[in-house]
Amino acid sequence: MPIDLSNAHSIARVLTEALPYIRRFSGKTLVVKYGGNAMKGDAMIASFARDIVLMKLVGMNPVVVHGGGPQIGAHLEKLGKTSRFVEGMRVTDEETMDVVEMMLGGLVNKAIVSQINAQGGRAVGLTGKDGGLIRARKLTVNGQDIGQVGEVEKIDPRVVAHLESGGFIPVIAPVGVGPNGEAFNINADLVAGKLASVLQAEKLLLLTNTNGVLDKDKRVLTGLSVAQVEGLIADGTIYGGMLPKIRCALDAVNSGVKSAHIINGEIEHAVLLELFTDAGIGTLIKAS
């Protein structure tokens, strides 16, 4: 089909706008956290997969960490098991942990891997158990035992580096392994942030179901320094469910990651729009 000449200049402008960003990020590692809320059907996952494949084809090294909370919750409901949360953390008994591993390490992980491969990429699915990638320890919340919920104790990035050097795209489910070989359910944002820090990634991108950090007039804020973000937390502009993501982003930037981004993964090709356009579409947090 011939190009619509009435729109040709717009297409050319977008392509040329992307060029300096492609040059800047070629050879760099970018950690992308893909939230379960943004996985609304095969079409959305395919759109995300195309973005990841394009990043790889132009010389970047994307590493995907994914969540799957809604999918876990839906499956537990089918089993007649009610999900319970303590400060946003899913209480994870042994039966729930079996479902977490099945959904995260199985169905969700393989759906993303399959879509990336279908778009021409070479993805490999992992959990934190593979290659000793994520060592975890038990997490308690305000002294409460919430079961097999963990936090990252140590990340061994060798398996990720090996896959990157071989031209593969790692797709990681946030299940860690404890000192006795037990599995732990870990928040995907925390895994992505820690992995970005260990890999000294150029960028950490957190895909969620909101447009980013909003000011009190509901406008997206971007180009924020660490000090500005801390001020927005202090004055109550950033609160509630956004706080864990912001703290994850701040930890990554304070640990050597060049910048962190919070963007709406429900927008088609959100990753490309944030990376390759001057305006972007979400919130950029940069090192001071």
Distance between CA atoms of 108 and 91, rounded to whole angstroms? 20
Evaluate whether residue 43 is within a structural domain.
Answer: yes
**Which of 70-74, 125-129, 232-236, 237-241 is the least confident region?**
237-241
pLDDT at residue 260 tops 90: yes
* pLDDT tens, residue by residue, 40-64: 778 888 999 999 999 999 999 999 9
- Find the mean pLDDT for residues 166-172: 97
Give the CA distances from residue 93 to residues 59, 98, 105, 149, in Å, rounded to whole numbers and listed in that order: 42, 9, 17, 9
Query: Over the chain, what is the mean pLDDT?
Result: 90
Distance between CA atoms of 136 and 176, rounded to whole angstroms? 5
pLDDT at residue 9 tops 80: no
The closest of 103, 98, 36, 97 to 64, measured between CA atoms, is: 36
- Look at residue 78 in the predicted model and tell me its pLDDT: 92
Contact predicate 276/22, CB 8 Å: yes
Evaluate whether residue 263 is within a structural domain.
Answer: yes
- Look at residue 122 in the predicted model and tell me its pLDDT: 97
pLDDT at residue 268 tops 80: yes
pLDDT at residue 184 tops 90: yes
The closest of 69, 67, 31, 99 to 188, measured between CA atoms, is: 67
- Find the mean pLDDT for residues 261-267: 91
CB-CB neighbours of 14 under 10 Å: 13
Assign 3-class secondary structure to 95-113.
Answer: HHHHHHHHHHHHHHHHHHH
Tell me which of 267 and 184 has the higher pLDDT. Answer: 184
- Look at residue 133 in the predicted model and tell me its pLDDT: 96
Q: Which residue has the tokens 């490999």?
A: 124
CB-CB neighbours of 82 under 10 Å: 8
Q: Which residue has the tokens 């699915």?
A: 125
Cβ burial, residue 161 (10 Å; 0-12/13-18/19+): middle
Evaluate whether residue 11 is within a structural domain.
Answer: no
Q: What is the CATH number of the domain that holds 160?
A: 3.40.1160.10
When pLDDT is cut at 50, 70 and 90, the band that residue 2 belongs to is low
pLDDT at residue 29 tops 60: yes
- Look at residue 7 in the predicted model and tell me its pLDDT: 66
Evaluate whether residue 207 is within a structural domain.
Answer: yes
Evaluate whether residue 1 is within a structural domain.
Answer: no
Q: Which residue has the tokens 């953390």?
A: 89
- In DSSP notation, 46-92 reads HHHHHHHHHHHHTT-EEEEEE--HHHHHHHHHHTT----EETTEEPB
The percentage of the chain sitting over the pLDDT mark of 70, rounded to a whole number, equals 96
Q: List the domain range (segments joined by +) for residue 31.
A: 27-286
Evaluate whether residue 3 is within a structural domain.
Answer: no
The closest of 79, 77, 128, 124 to 101, measured between CA atoms, is: 128
Evaluate whether residue 190 is within a structural domain.
Answer: yes
Quote the number of domains for the chain: 1
pLDDT at residue 16 tops 60: yes
Vertex 261: Cα angle to 30 and 258 (nearest 5): 55
pLDDT at residue 117 tops 60: yes
Contact predicate 111/71, CB 8 Å: no
Q: pTM of the entire structure?
A: 0.92
Distance between CA atoms of 24 and 111, rounded to whole angstroms? 31
Coil, strand or helix at 31: strand
Cβ burial, residue 157 (10 Å; 0-12/13-18/19+): middle
Coil, strand or helix at 36: helix
